Amino acid sequence: MTVEISTPLGQIDVAVEVIETIAGGAAMECYGLVGMASQKYIKDGLAELLRRENLKKGVVVREEEDGVHIDMYVIVSYGTKISEVAHNVQSKVKYTLEEMLGLKVESVNIYVQGVRVIND
């Protein structure tokens, strides 16, 4: 599946996998985020922490009539303010996708799947 971007010079088709990878990478730059969670384990109540190469599995891109919507399944660090981490991830992902691809993102929905204690 691809997302179509219209420009004055023509049309650009961007694969959904590219958008997922860019969104996952941008999210991982945010403070307080431990990693992405696999969405397939949500039914069991288990949150599997994904490795760096599998970040796109924690991201769902939906193209609707009003624009592109991003759903992200994340695991946050213990001791951080969850609402603040989620807001930072939303802002970073939206800004990165708009700057890199020129893609108009209508919403970035964050689903916190777990909290992890990080041992330094």
CATH code of the domain covering residue 16: 3.30.70.1350
Residue 94 has pLDDT above 80, yes or no: yes
| Average pLDDT score over residue span 8-17 | 89
Q: How far apart are CA 20 and CA 55, in angstroms?
A: 8
pLDDT in tens, 25-52: 999 999 998 888 877 655 445 455 545 5
Phi-psi region of 87 (alpha: psi -120 to 50; beta: other; left: phi over 0): alpha
| Cβ-proximal residues to 74 (8 Å cutoff; 6+ apart), any chain | 27, 33, 34, 35, 36, 37, 58, 86, 89, 110, 111, 112, 113
Please tell me the pTM assigned to this model: 0.82
pLDDT score at 103: 87
pLDDT score at 44: 47
**Domain count of the fold of the chain:** 1
Domain containing residue 48: 2-116
Q: How far apart are CA 96 and CA 36, in angstroms?
A: 17
